[in-house]
Amino acid sequence: MNECLLEMIWVIVLILLGAFIAPILDGLRRKIRAKIQRRIGPPLLQTFYDLSKLFNLQPVLPFKNMFIVVSPYIAFATLLVLSAAVPLPYVPGFSTVFDAITLLYTLLFVSVLVVLLGLALPNPYSNAGSTREALTITVFEVFIAFTIVGIAYSMKTLNLYGLAVLYGFPKNYLRISTLFLSASLFILAYIESAYTPFDMGEAETEVLGGPYLEFSGRYYGLFLYALLLKRYILLSLPVSLVLVSPIAMMLRAFIPEPLLSVVVLGVFVLFLFITMSVYSVVEALYPRYRVDLAFKPLILASVIPFIGLVMGWLGW
């Protein structure tokens, strides 16, 4: 009973953390890009102000359709729940019951939902943006599949909590295959988050926001929030597995468990900020790909998790 209550508390903590930190991470991203561009940039909480403004605006939709009206709520609610499944050692949220495939494909479900919406809307820009998004998802599928299978094969589990714990053990962590799979996780989070140069689907100067074009007010606000949560969850995968897990395994000898969970959470947040800073620097250095130009790097990138998978299979 106590364990169940504790898990419930962690679920609530993780959901609140996700809801709070996702816009903050976006604020950090905007601030760092501004610094690189030699601007002052908006305050760290600007994304909150933007969301608050959107939630207070009257939404205008192209036509009344239950699917379109309900979709932003579904997307937001799904990702809010999913943020409690962030795999962190000693922080048992939904990660104890979720596995990697469920997590990644639920994330993908939200992307597909957005694509379907964009295709359903009577707007050629939405249609074009959604088509690009669909093409990117399809091409990137290979990368995601290799990464999941590679990690599952190396760690012998797909359970998220199990992964969070096992990834940090030196016998797993110091393998060459893990090096490739870790790199794959960072790449996966970056590309799947649609940071520049992979923001073809929403490209504002080309397709005016693509699938999101016809959404306004709270509907767009919910989609935006959902997108930020998706980015946070994706970012949490490499951060927790590659960076937090080994540290947690080292600290467990020195810090007792209830306190260790809090420390792990603190380290997780710290690394989230550091990783997002690195991502923001990379993002500021490149223009956007054209969708056909992006295919080559996306396919070539699949070589990295494939090598990780093969090495894991060979036992390296």
Q: Which residues bind other proteins (CB under 8 A)?
A: 33, 36-39, 124-125, 127-128, 131-132, 196-197, 199-200, 203-208, 284-293
Write out the DSSP string of 48-77: HHHHHHHHHSPP--SS--HHHHHHHHHHHH
The tokens describing 207, both together, are 């397709």
**CB-nearer residue toward other proteins: 236 or 280:** 280
Q: How far apart are CA 235 and CA 242, in angstroms?
A: 11
Q: What is the DSSP letter of 241?
A: I
* Shortest Cβ 207–other proteins spacing (Å): 8
For other proteins, the closer of residues 40 and 253 by Cβ is 40
Distance CA 109, CA 232 (A): 16
Nearer to other proteins, 128 or 243 (CB): 128
Q: Which is nearer to other proteins, 99 or 202 (CB)?
A: 202
Q: Which two tokens stand for residue 108?
A: 């993908």
193 vs 229: CA distance, rounded Å: 10
- For residue 301, the minimal CB distance to other proteins (Å) is 15
- The kind and range of the H/E element at 293 are helix 291-301
Nearest distance from C-beta of residue 95 to other proteins, angstroms: 35
Residue 106 or 196 with smaller CB distance to other proteins: 196
Q: Which is nearer to other proteins, 209 or 221 (CB)?
A: 209
The 8-class DSSP code of residue 177 comes to H
Q: How far is the CB of 312 from other proteins (least distance, A)?
A: 32
Beta-bridge partners for 159: 99
The rounded distance, in Å, linking the Cα atoms of 265 and 35 is: 28
From the CB of 242, what's the least distance to other proteins, in Å?
26
Structure tokens at 314: 């060979």
Q: How far is the CB of 41 from other proteins (least distance, A)?
A: 10
d(CA 41, CA 241): 32
